[in-house]
Amino acid sequence: MQEPSSTRVQELVARLRAAGHRLTPQRLAILCSLARGDAHPSAEAIFAEVRALHPMVSLATVYNTIETLKEMGEVLELQFSTGNRYDGRLATPHPHLVCTHCGRIEDVALPALQSAVDAAARHLPFTAAVPRLDFYGICPACRETAPLQNR
Protein backbone atom coordinates (compact mmCIF):
# COMPACT_ATOMS: atom_id res chain seq x y z
CA MET A 1 0.00 0.00 0.00
CA GLN A 2 1.28 3.38 -1.05
CA GLU A 3 2.04 5.76 1.82
CA PRO A 4 0.23 9.11 1.86
CA SER A 5 3.07 11.37 0.75
CA SER A 6 1.88 14.91 1.20
CA THR A 7 0.08 16.62 4.06
CA ARG A 8 -2.75 17.41 1.64
CA VAL A 9 -3.24 13.69 0.97
CA GLN A 10 -3.25 13.04 4.73
CA GLU A 11 -5.86 15.78 5.09
CA LEU A 12 -8.08 14.16 2.46
CA VAL A 13 -7.62 10.75 4.10
CA ALA A 14 -8.69 12.21 7.45
CA ARG A 15 -11.75 13.89 5.93
CA LEU A 16 -12.89 10.71 4.18
CA ARG A 17 -12.37 8.58 7.29
CA ALA A 18 -14.22 11.11 9.46
CA ALA A 19 -17.14 10.91 7.00
CA GLY A 20 -17.16 7.14 7.39
CA HIS A 21 -15.66 6.19 4.02
CA ARG A 22 -13.58 3.10 3.60
CA LEU A 23 -10.08 3.77 2.39
CA THR A 24 -8.91 1.14 -0.07
CA PRO A 25 -5.40 1.20 -1.60
CA GLN A 26 -7.06 2.21 -4.88
CA ARG A 27 -8.79 5.15 -3.23
CA LEU A 28 -5.56 6.25 -1.59
CA ALA A 29 -3.80 6.17 -4.97
CA ILE A 30 -6.63 8.31 -6.41
CA LEU A 31 -6.14 10.84 -3.60
CA CYS A 32 -2.39 10.93 -4.27
CA SER A 33 -3.00 11.53 -7.97
CA LEU A 34 -5.56 14.26 -7.24
CA ALA A 35 -3.56 16.15 -4.66
CA ARG A 36 -0.06 15.89 -6.07
CA GLY A 37 1.48 18.77 -7.95
CA ASP A 38 -0.04 21.35 -10.18
CA ALA A 39 -1.35 19.00 -12.86
CA HIS A 40 -5.12 19.49 -12.52
CA PRO A 41 -5.70 15.98 -13.90
CA SER A 42 -8.78 14.73 -15.73
CA ALA A 43 -10.59 11.67 -14.35
CA GLU A 44 -9.12 9.67 -17.26
CA ALA A 45 -5.58 10.80 -16.40
CA ILE A 46 -6.09 9.79 -12.76
CA PHE A 47 -7.52 6.47 -13.91
CA ALA A 48 -4.51 5.79 -16.15
CA GLU A 49 -2.08 6.64 -13.37
CA VAL A 50 -3.85 4.59 -10.70
CA ARG A 51 -4.42 1.63 -13.03
CA ALA A 52 -0.65 1.34 -13.53
CA LEU A 53 -0.39 0.53 -9.80
CA HIS A 54 -3.77 -1.12 -9.25
CA PRO A 55 -4.94 -2.90 -12.43
CA MET A 56 -8.31 -3.77 -10.84
CA VAL A 57 -9.39 -0.16 -10.32
CA SER A 58 -12.37 1.02 -12.38
CA LEU A 59 -13.10 4.41 -13.92
CA ALA A 60 -16.33 4.40 -11.87
CA THR A 61 -14.28 4.25 -8.65
CA VAL A 62 -12.28 7.26 -9.82
CA TYR A 63 -15.47 9.19 -10.60
CA ASN A 64 -17.09 8.16 -7.29
CA THR A 65 -14.08 9.25 -5.27
CA ILE A 66 -13.92 12.60 -7.08
CA GLU A 67 -17.68 13.08 -6.60
CA THR A 68 -17.46 12.30 -2.87
CA LEU A 69 -14.61 14.77 -2.38
CA LYS A 70 -16.42 17.39 -4.48
CA GLU A 71 -19.52 17.09 -2.31
CA MET A 72 -17.30 17.51 0.76
CA GLY A 73 -15.85 20.68 -0.76
CA GLU A 74 -12.36 19.16 -0.99
CA VAL A 75 -11.97 19.09 -4.77
CA LEU A 76 -12.49 21.89 -7.27
CA GLU A 77 -14.01 20.86 -10.58
CA LEU A 78 -13.03 22.88 -13.65
CA GLN A 79 -15.39 22.32 -16.56
CA PHE A 80 -13.97 22.66 -20.06
CA SER A 81 -15.45 21.81 -23.44
CA THR A 82 -12.58 19.32 -23.74
CA GLY A 83 -13.53 17.61 -20.45
CA ASN A 84 -13.45 18.29 -16.74
CA ARG A 85 -10.24 18.75 -14.79
CA TYR A 86 -9.77 18.63 -11.03
CA ASP A 87 -7.79 20.44 -8.38
CA GLY A 88 -7.43 18.40 -5.20
CA ARG A 89 -5.01 20.76 -3.53
CA LEU A 90 -7.02 23.97 -3.46
CA ALA A 91 -10.79 23.56 -3.54
CA THR A 92 -11.76 27.23 -3.30
CA PRO A 93 -12.17 28.84 -6.74
CA HIS A 94 -8.92 30.41 -7.98
CA PRO A 95 -7.55 31.66 -11.30
CA HIS A 96 -5.76 29.32 -13.69
CA LEU A 97 -3.39 29.47 -16.63
CA VAL A 98 -4.48 27.13 -19.42
CA CYS A 99 -2.17 26.07 -22.28
CA THR A 100 -4.19 25.94 -25.51
CA HIS A 101 -1.54 23.70 -27.03
CA CYS A 102 -1.08 20.81 -24.55
CA GLY A 103 -3.93 21.43 -22.08
CA ARG A 104 -1.61 21.98 -19.13
CA ILE A 105 -3.30 23.92 -16.32
CA GLU A 106 -1.46 25.81 -13.61
CA ASP A 107 -2.55 27.90 -10.65
CA VAL A 108 -1.77 31.58 -10.84
CA ALA A 109 -1.66 33.72 -7.69
CA LEU A 110 -3.50 37.01 -8.17
CA PRO A 111 -3.97 38.56 -4.72
CA ALA A 112 -5.65 41.63 -6.28
CA LEU A 113 -8.43 39.41 -7.61
CA GLN A 114 -9.87 38.93 -4.11
CA SER A 115 -10.89 42.56 -3.75
CA ALA A 116 -12.64 42.39 -7.15
CA VAL A 117 -14.46 39.23 -6.05
CA ASP A 118 -15.48 40.89 -2.76
CA ALA A 119 -16.68 44.00 -4.61
CA ALA A 120 -18.72 41.87 -7.02
CA ALA A 121 -20.21 39.92 -4.11
CA ARG A 122 -21.40 43.18 -2.54
CA HIS A 123 -23.14 44.37 -5.71
CA LEU A 124 -24.39 41.26 -7.46
CA PRO A 125 -27.96 40.21 -6.79
CA PHE A 126 -26.74 36.59 -6.79
CA THR A 127 -25.84 34.77 -3.61
CA ALA A 128 -22.55 32.88 -3.39
CA ALA A 129 -21.39 34.01 -6.82
CA VAL A 130 -18.36 31.88 -7.65
CA PRO A 131 -15.65 33.46 -9.80
CA ARG A 132 -14.18 31.56 -12.73
CA LEU A 133 -11.09 33.05 -14.32
CA ASP A 134 -8.90 31.30 -16.89
CA PHE A 135 -6.00 32.79 -18.81
CA TYR A 136 -5.35 31.07 -22.13
CA GLY A 137 -1.90 30.98 -23.68
CA ILE A 138 1.03 28.77 -24.61
CA CYS A 139 3.01 27.23 -21.76
CA PRO A 140 6.83 27.52 -21.66
CA ALA A 141 7.34 23.87 -22.63
CA CYS A 142 5.11 24.23 -25.72
CA ARG A 143 6.67 27.58 -26.63
CA GLU A 144 9.99 25.74 -26.92
CA THR A 145 8.63 23.25 -29.45
CA ALA A 146 5.63 25.05 -31.03
CA PRO A 147 5.83 26.44 -34.55
CA LEU A 148 6.62 30.15 -34.71
CA GLN A 149 3.07 31.27 -35.52
CA ASN A 150 1.88 29.92 -32.16
CA ARG A 151 4.33 31.98 -30.11
The SS3 assignment for 141 reads helix
Alpha helices (H) along the chain: 7-18, 25-35, 43-53, 59-71, 113-123, 140-145
Specify the DSSP element, H or E, that contains 31: helix 25-35
The SS3 assignment for 4 reads coil
Beta carbons of 2 and 53 less than 8 angstroms apart: yes
Among 31, 32, 57, 99, binds Zn ion (CB under 5 A): 99
Q: Which one of the spans 20-28, 111-119, 122-130, 134-142 is the region binding Zn ion (CB under 5 A)?
A: 134-142
Q: Is 87 in the site for Zn ion (CB under 5 A)?
A: yes
Among 101, 113, 117, 121, binds Zn ion (CB under 5 A): 101
CA-CA distance, 138 to 8, in Å (whole number)?
29
Q: Is 104 in the site for Zn ion (CB under 5 A)?
A: yes
Q: Is 110 in the site for Zn ion (CB under 5 A)?
A: no
Q: Is 59 in the site for Zn ion (CB under 5 A)?
A: no
Looking at this protein, which amino acid is placed at residue 1? Answer: M
Q: How far is the CB of 96 from Zn ion (least distance, A)?
A: 5
Q: Is 108 in the site for Zn ion (CB under 5 A)?
A: no
Q: Is 69 in the site for Zn ion (CB under 5 A)?
A: no
Contacting residues toward Zn ion, per CB under 5 A = 87, 99, 101-102, 104, 107, 139, 142
